[in-house]
Amino acid sequence: MKKPFYILGLLLVTLGVLVFILSRHGKPVESSAEVLTVHCAAALQKPVREIARQYEMEYGTRIRLNFAGSGVLASQIKVSGGDLYIPADSSYIGPMKAEGLVLESTDLARLRAVVVVRKGNPRNIRSMDDLARRGVRISVGEPTAAIGSFVRRVLMESGDWERISPQILVTKPTVNNVVEDVATGAVDAGLAWDAVASQFKDVELVRVPVFEDIPRCATAGILRGAEVPAALHFMRYLAATGRGRDVFEKMGFTVPAVADSWTDAPVLTLFAGSMLRPAIEDRLRLFEQREGCRIKTVFDGCGTLLARMNENDAGAMPSAYFPCDSTFLSDVKDRFGPGMIITSNEIVMLVPKGNPRGLKKLDDLSKIGLRVGLADAGKSALGKLTMDMMMRYGCWDELHDSGNVVVLASKGEELANQMQSGALDAALIYLSNAMASPGMMADCKIIRLRQPDAIAHQPFVVAHDTPYPQMVLRLRDFITHDDARSRFEQLGFKFIKREWTDE
């Protein structure tokens, strides 16, 4: 007769066990395998799901996908974090980059807004005017979805929004829902992304001029606090030819013209003027760790680098070239894409501490009995710029005739060393050469020449034939990121960072 008590006891014990199991729910148990959390716009659901599946099979890393409208994801990320954010429109990335929430980003696919109608276009909808017709039922995305906010913005500007809004029957959280509405016949027309609509069987796309010239770009961004290099590895995979890019293309997305080839751990070659070594060396190592790649860097005088490129053997072409001055590009311009002027650096006169010979101007270098060090015009940008500057100033021949030039170095660092050892009375070098060596200020004095043409501009250019154009651009952005700026400025570089096409 005590049976009910036993059953009560059993219930309580079961309850205890269940609560215990629940208390452990959702805690990461799979510490053995890596897990990446990817917040992805619902519009990209199909390709990204497929790419994640392939990636999981290839590398065993688990990808947790969270799909929603791009705007919804942005607010979720602020609360819960994650590794990658893939909105359907790159305009979501910009503000997050500005806030420091997104670091690197890469373009994945282009999307154009279209009018979606049922197969055969039974309501004969061909233009925005047709949408404004009475009795046409329209479905649009909510403003929290990229499609919703984009069509609102564009149509409000064009004045069409007011005309069609009485016909809007329903708003939906994602573009997929909008197309679904058209496919099931619940509405007559929807405003959706072309690539998403073309995945559905029962619908047809009507292209309208108002959207046609403004394609949007689905972009992947690495979130602050993301697991690197795993997150970057997957981001590269998403965009790479032969991997993610092919899946996007297969599913009807327009993919960007340039994309990286897929390699597990790419190797980049960077040719850089030797003056840049102290400014970028540490940053290059950080980039390697972050991206899981290797950078073979050759620092040398720019003339030497040019000569190596002109030898034209297969291994000699770098992925990127970061010369000391833009004049050292003209010979190889056709091999590189448009670049960006990153910094400028002025040429200064370096004299021993106290300036015992009282040197002030370029003319003074021809004084009798001086030991002057210059850079070789054939081997380095510094030498070339120095020569041009002195020729224009009109003291080049005089200096040569004086026989004062005792050293023609291949790069500025050598001259800096010789100055420090006391072997020279004066040298013309970059301000950064002088600032880079810590002991220099104790032994030498910098005399600013204030010559407008004594300034070298350092452009960063990407090789046309590099297999990793996107990664090289990330490298450029990384070594010239605001975090790196102070290092450049410490060394006497002026930070410019503007687009540069030709002189």
Partner 1 sequence: MSSDDGRKEDTSVSGPGRIPSDIPFFLGIGGLALCYTCLITALVLANMTAIEWQDLLGMWYNPDIHASIRLTFLTCSVSAILSILCAVPIGYLLSRFRFPGRAVIDAVLDIPIVLPPLVVGLSLLILFNKVPFAGGSLEKWLNDHGMMVTFAIPAIILAQFTVATAFAIRVVKNTFDQIDHRSEQVAMTLGCNRSGAFWNVALPQAGQGLVAAGVLAWARALGEFGPILVFAGATRGRTEVLATSVFLEINIGNLGGAAAVSLLMIILALGLISLIRFITRSKTPFL
Contact pick of 18, 265, 267, 441 for partner 1 (by CB under 8 A): 18
- CB of residue 243 to partner 1, shortest distance in Å: 21
Told to check if 1 binds partner 1 by CB under 8 A, we report yes
- CB of residue 178 to partner 1, shortest distance in Å: 8
Beta pairing class for 372-375 and 168-172: unpaired
The whole-angstrom separation of Cα 137 and Cα 351 is: 81
Told to check if 15 binds partner 1 by CB under 8 A, we report yes
Contact pick of 68, 113, 138, 270 for partner 1 (by CB under 8 A): 68
- CB of residue 4 to partner 1, shortest distance in Å: 4
DSSP 434-451: HHHSTTHHHHEEEEE---
Using alpha carbons, select from 455, 432, 469 the residue that is nearest to residue 257. 469
Told to check if 234 binds partner 1 by CB under 8 A, we report no
Told to check if 75 binds partner 1 by CB under 8 A, we report no
**Interacting residues with partner 1 between 165 and 204 (CB under 8 A):** 172-180
**Interacting residues with partner 1 between 114 and 143 (CB under 8 A):** none
Told to check if 61 binds partner 1 by CB under 8 A, we report no
Binding mask 249-288 for partner 1 (x = CB under 8 A): ----------------------------------------
470: amino acid identity, one letter: Q
The answer to whether the beta carbons of residues 349 and 449 sit under 8 Å apart is yes
Contact pick of 55, 67, 262, 336 for partner 1 (by CB under 8 A): 67
Told to check if 3 binds partner 1 by CB under 8 A, we report yes
Size of the chain in residues: 503
Q: Nearer Cβ to partner 1, position 58 or 331?
A: 58
- # binding residues, partner 1 (CB under 8 A): 31
The whole-angstrom separation of Cα 306 and Cα 329 is: 8
Contact pick of 36, 38, 42, 270 for partner 1 (by CB under 8 A): 42
The answer to whether the beta carbons of residues 420 and 439 sit under 8 Å apart is yes
Contact pick of 33, 60, 64, 158 for partner 1 (by CB under 8 A): 64
- CB of residue 332 to partner 1, shortest distance in Å: 49
- CB of residue 180 to partner 1, shortest distance in Å: 5
Neighbours of 78 (CB within 10 A): 11
Q: Quick one: tokens of 46?
A: 């199909």
Told to check if 62 binds partner 1 by CB under 8 A, we report yes
The whole-angstrom separation of Cα 78 and Cα 27 is: 20
Told to check if 22 binds partner 1 by CB under 8 A, we report yes
Segment interacting with partner 1 (CB under 8 A) among 16-24, 426-434, 442-450, 491-499: 16-24
Told to check if 11 binds partner 1 by CB under 8 A, we report yes
Contact pick of 80, 127, 330, 490 for partner 1 (by CB under 8 A): 80
Told to check if 28 binds partner 1 by CB under 8 A, we report no
Angle between helices 175-184 and 146-158 (to 10 degrees): 80
Segment interacting with partner 1 (CB under 8 A) among 13-21, 82-90, 350-358, 416-424: 13-21
Using alpha carbons, select from 349, 329, 327 the residue that is nearest to residue 337. 329
DSSP 244-304: HHHHHHHTTPBPPS--PBP-SS-EEEEEEEGGGHHHHHHHHHHHHHHHT-EEEEEEE-HHH
Told to check if 295 binds partner 1 by CB under 8 A, we report no
Contact pick of 9, 14, 397, 448 for partner 1 (by CB under 8 A): 14
Contacts of 74 (CB under 8 A, 6+ apart): 85, 87, 92, 96
Q: Quick one: tokens of 345?
A: 């650096």
Told to check if 57 binds partner 1 by CB under 8 A, we report no
Number of H helices, E strands in the chain: 21, 20
Gyration radius of the chain's alpha carbons = 31
Q: Nearer Cβ to partner 1, position 7 or 391?
A: 7
Residue 477: exposure state from Cβ atoms within 10 A (0-12, 13-18, ≥19): middle
The whole-angstrom separation of Cα 460 and Cα 338 is: 9
- CB of residue 183 to partner 1, shortest distance in Å: 9
Told to check if 33 binds partner 1 by CB under 8 A, we report no
Where along the sequence are the contacts to partner 1 (CB under 8 A)?
1, 3-5, 7, 11, 14-15, 18-19, 21-22, 25-26, 42, 45, 62, 64, 66-68, 80, 172-180
